[in-house]
Amino acid sequence: MLEMSRVRNGRWEAIWDGADDARIAVLHQGEELPGLTFEATGDGKWRLSLPIPAGLLSDGVQSFVIREGRDTVGKFSIVTGAPLEDDLRAEIELLRAELDLLKKAFRRHCVETGAA
């Protein structure tokens, strides 16, 4: 079981509480990233560490999946770039407009059906 996961100083770090023969892998766009290290903490847990290749970071959202064998046990994303800020604002404005449209339609439906 993945207990903790974070990105610090260009490295993904986590604590794994599970079998010492676990087949943990971190994938980006379906490709396994090299360099994952395991360090026993002495209490039956393992400290995992993986350098995040700088070449993977570019404007937008980069998603990483942590797998144990065939099972997904965690994930994390890294968001970078100024253009993304405008994209997020546009998405939020679009979501607000759609929510307003849904609210109006729901209110109209309640009036037409006599629902309170």
User: pLDDT tens across 26-39, in order?
Assistant: 999 989 999 999 99
Please list, in sequence order, all residues whose beta carbon lies within 8 angstroms of the beta carbon of residue 74, skipping any fewer than 6 positions away.
Answer: 2, 5, 14, 65, 66
pLDDT of residue 83: 63
**Residues of the chain where predicted confidence (pLDDT) is lower than 70:** 82-85, 116
Assign residue 35 a region (left: φ > 0; alpha: ψ between -120 and 50; beta: otherwise): left
User: How far, in Å, CA of 20 to CA of 36, rounded?
Assistant: 14
Supply φ then ψ for residue 43, to 5 degrees.
-115, 30
109 DSSP assignment: H
Is the distance from CB of 29 to CB of 36 less than 8 angstroms?
no
Supply φ then ψ for residue 42, to 5 degrees.
95, -10
Strand partners, 31: 28
| Interstrand relation of 46-51 and 11-16 (parallel, antiparallel or unpaired) | antiparallel
Cβ-based neighbour number of residue 83 at 10 Å: 10
pLDDT of residue 116: 60
In the structure encoding, which two tokens stand for residue 81, read together? Answer: 């770039």
pTM to 2 decimals? 0.67
Q: What is the third-level CATH fold of 2-80?
A: Immunoglobulin-like (2.60.40)
pLDDT of residue 31: 92
